[in-house]
Amino acid sequence: MLLSRMKSGDPEIFATVQGEGTSAGVPSVFVRLAECNLRCGWCDTKYTWDWSTYDRAAETVELGIDAIVERVLEVSGEGVRNAVFTGGEPLLQQDELVLLAARLRERGFRVEVETNGTVVPTEAFAACVDQWNVSPKLASSGNAERARHRPAALQWFAARPNAHLKFVMTSDADVAEVSELVDALGVPRARVLLSPEGVDATTLAERSRWLADRCRTHGYRLGTRLHVFLWGSERGR
């Protein structure tokens, strides 16, 4: 499997607390996969896919399932039993992730997947996933609609009660776009989180106050970026 590297050169497999979504604050071990099929202008992990700026050979590493499981167990210790597959876009490697998820579940891990909602999961992989954290991209991401809006994939996630939709918000235009999409998909607003865009605590605090009013008005949940408040943009946190 192709993983991202930390600045130390080690694979980006690390234990921390979940920073986003409905399980924010839960002690978790992250496995960050490389490569992505979208190109978001505000992406804070461009080192996983932007090979015009970053050196692919330096930023990625190939690891087998056994090596990944060993590393997960090493960094998680006794206190962490929530595994999060993130990216990049993890579903680009979902055939291999089926095996990894199954191995981790055998060892008592719960499995979350963070995805941009453009790839339909296989039933084999879906059977191994406890929670989907789906972040569909809006026009403000800079991606063409045909790339970011894949109806079949979005409808698949909309039909799963263990999938929550998380949107990165920058303006009131984003709020209107979210409402249109959520209504079209028929997703209960209790399963929708609005999260402020930002990579520093000051920006997030300001935008969270603005966004809290919109959530109150429209009935959405307010998402946070707990890891940014704690560690800023530090990699491996």
- Look at residue 164 and give its three-state secondary structure: strand
Please check whether residue 163 is in contact with residue 191, taking contact to mean a CB–CB distance below 8 angstroms.
yes
Average pLDDT over the chain reads 94
Match domain 2-167 to its CATH number in 3.20.20.70, 3.40.640.10, 1.25.40.10, 3.30.360.10. Answer: 3.20.20.70
Q: What is the pLDDT of residue 229?
A: 74
- Residue 231 clears pLDDT 80, i.e. is over it: no
**Low-confidence winner among 94-108, 109-123, 165-179, 218-232 (lowest mean pLDDT):** 218-232
Per-domain boundaries in the chain: 2-167
Distance CA 69, CA 160 (A): 27
Which residue has better confidence, 2 or 229? 2
Banded model confidence at residue 175, pLDDT cuts 50, 70, 90: very high
pTM (two decimals): 0.94
Q: Kindly give, in sequence order, each residue whose CB lies less than 8 Å from that of residue 97, ignoring residues fewer than 6 positions away.
A: 1, 85, 90, 91, 113, 125, 128
Q: What is the pLDDT of residue 227?
A: 78
CA distances from 198 to 8, 168, 191, 202, 231 (A): 25, 9, 22, 9, 13
Share of the chain above pLDDT 70, in %: 98
Cβ-based burial of 180 (10 A; exposed 0-12, middle 13-18, buried ≥19): exposed
In this predicted model, what pLDDT tens digit does every residue of 109-141 receive, in sequence order?
999 999 999 999 999 999 999 999 999 999 999
Distance CA 202, CA 221 (A): 21
